[in-house]
Amino acid sequence: MRTTDGNAAIELHDSQVERIELQGGDCTLVLTAYVHRSQGKPGVHAGSGWSQTAHLRIMRAHLEGAAVALPLRLATGRLTAQELQLTNLVPVPSSFTGAVRLELVGEGGESVVVLGEVADLVLVGDARYVDEFPG
């Protein structure tokens, strides 16, 4: 089921990095994402939770740190784009220009850091209903 009603945001905490694809200086993280959907503010107001594939592409990217085993179940994450800081909840779809820093932390303390210049986050394919979010 493809859903488009209301506002949506990926909760990094309940998401998983399936693959990290490097191509031509760009980095695409393929996530099985937990997506909050709400008529209000996702993750704050009542709505529903869905599981869906998401692609987070960072252009002119550089990975920092040691390689981590995938898939990686996430404990938290932060996306910083210029002066904007998003912790754990990232609106979708979204696009960020300028300097970008993505920091992801796995449930076992593993760390993935990607630096780049432009980032795009999109949902791909069909969503699967998970639960209701009471707000």
pTM of the model: 0.91
The distance between the two most distant Cα atoms of the chain, rounded to a whole number of Å, is 43
Residue-wise pLDDT tens digits, 37-84: 999 898 889 999 999 999 999 999 999 988 899 999 999 999 999 889
The domain spans of the chain are: 7-129
Q: What is the DSSP letter of 25?
A: T
Residues near 89 by beta carbon (within 8 Å), at least 6 away in sequence = 9, 10, 11, 12, 36, 42, 43
Cβ–Cβ contacts within 10 Å for residue 88, how many? Answer: 18
Please compute the mean of the pLDDT values over residues 107-113 and round it to a whole number.
96
- Does the bond joining 91 to the residue before it have cis omega, within 30 degrees of 0? no
Residue-wise pLDDT for 68-79, tens only, equals 999 999 999 999
